[in-house]
Amino acid sequence: MIWVVFLAALAGGPLIANYPKDSKEETSVSEETPLAPQQPTYRASYHFTTPDKWMNDPQRPIYFDGKYHYYYLYNKDYPKGNGTEWRHATSTDLVHWQDEGVALPKYTNRNGDPWSGSVVIDKDNTAGFGKGALVALVTQPSADGGKQEQYLWYSTNRGQTFSSYSSKPVLPNPGTHDFRDPKIIWEEKSRKWIMTMAEGTKVGFYESSNLKDWRYISGFNTENIGLVECPDLYLMRADDGSYRWILGVSANGKPAGKPNTYAYWTGDFNGKEFIPDRKEPQWLDYGFDWYAAVTFEEGPGEDKLSHRYALAWMNNWDYPHNTPTLKEGFNGMDSIVRQIKLKQTGDTYTLVSQPVQALEQLPQKARSYPQLEVDGSRTLDAVGDSYQLDADISWSELKNVGLRLRESADKQRHVDVGVFAEGGYTYVNRAFTGQPDKSGAYLESRAPFNAGSKKVHLKILVDKTSIEVFVDDGSVVFSSVIFPDLNDKGITLFTDGGKAVFDNLVIRQYGQN
């Protein structure tokens, strides 16, 4: 059964009504008889959600047999029982997913429940389980005093189920409290497997020829981003033709005024150690809810280095259980899958993101508008809860410009996206709508913006409980969870302290049949 695309039309009929005369409607799919309205739901329309109960960390998807195979941490006993296991889903387009059930169950041996790790395809049978066997390295809090240690599991039935290789760890705990989230790649130059490990504030590097025997080779120490988790190492080709390695981690930059998402460094990996281009990390997301991210390579394409894909868990460990979806029996959603590329600007290399192109193949109705000049506010006749909005905004002098989305009829509730030109930053503000943070510390996320350009392109993806904003070329992205009233669907353009022009404004409603 398909769990991801619950068509938004099921939530209560058309998402756009009363189009203004000067707008233009285009339908990307043939008209069909509308489905009967169903009960209102907070289930996402086009994001991956757990079928039931609980999900958190995604595991890096792999591609074989013409499909992407995706495993994620799942707790069938939530909210009363503990422990995670690996649930499995498959997809051909990274948008529609088929649930395949639990592949690596919890508490099947004395070493505890499986946490995060990674799966590789052992094409050359280096581990001895057969060519093409799937091998997973998984953190388990072992029976040896609860130490975090790394265990090997393998699958010889194309990833449907995994078997434990040994009750003993293939990588024992070296004496550190935090020792988890193994991520494995095949390093072509050295012809060895390379593993990255999250070890407190350090990333450890290990090598192996057979996936069973591991040797420590080096470490990369981080600063001012707290505990690191879910490390990521990969090679990319930048738009200038050069090759750079990227080291990524999920980290907490809040004490330094940075995000609590995915930090990364560009640099060089020589088979032994990672040498960063600069000391300070960059961030792949500036929102509040893009954690435990994984990146993975293109499946069917030949060019594996010009781009990759990325997705993350849309939640935050400061408020993981605050969601209205609990009333519907589930808690857990991923971001959309992004395509990421490496862009060279001056002496800096930066990852830029855009939504995966397959989203454009979803049933949709597109509405385009002529150039709109706004001085104050202008409410559109378009309404919706599951859509993509694109707009070019330009101005001469003003303080603030943006959009109020998921707005209530009385204008009191909304989530705001825009550019605070006077302060030199872009932002997403969820203070005036339902949202999970009760402390008041996670209301407005910000990222630096060069207000001197006096223009911006915003690509905004809205779903039942989320908002993802791609600024200009996607070097800045915000991903945050929101919980608007299900009837709050308005869209208003606004300015403060001057005029702005909204050009090339297009709204693509998802879920229309």
Both tokens of 197, joined, read 């490990």
Q: How far is CA 421 from the centre of its chain?
A: 28
- 57 catalytically annotated: yes
Question: What is the four-CA torsion angle of 289, 294, 300, 301, rounded to 10 degrees?
Answer: 90
Distances (CA, A) of 389 to 177, 286, 462: 45, 19, 8
Closest C-alpha to 432, from 420, 417, 447, 421: 417
Question: What is the four-CA torsion angle of 479, 483, 486, 487, rounded to 10 degrees?
Answer: -90
Q: Map residue 92 onto helix, strand or coil.
A: coil
Instruction: Lay out the sheet containing 163-164: strands in order across.
Output: 117-122, 133-141, 148-155, 163-164
Q: CB–CB of 137/184 below 8 Å? A: yes
Dist CA 446 CA 336 (whole Å): 20
Cα atoms in the Cβ-side hemisphere of radius 13 Å centred on 52: 7
Dist CA 340 CA 285 (whole Å): 12
Closest C-alpha to 190, from 235, 253, 136: 235
| Active-site pick, 22, 52, 57, 381 | 57
Residue 200's Cβ-count burial label (10 Å; 0-12, 13-18, 19+) is: middle
Pairing outcome for strands 500-510 and 387-395: antiparallel
Dist CA 373 CA 353 (whole Å): 29
Q: CB–CB of 57/230 below 8 Å? A: yes
DSSP annotation string for 51-73: SSEEEEEE---EEETTEEEEEEE
DSSP annotation string for 378-421: EE-S---SSEEEEEEEEESS-SEEEEEEEE-TTS---EEEEEET
- Sign of the torsion angle spanned by Cα atoms 78, 80, 81, 82: positive
Tokens 């640099």, located at residue:
267
Q: Which residues are catalytically annotated? A: 57
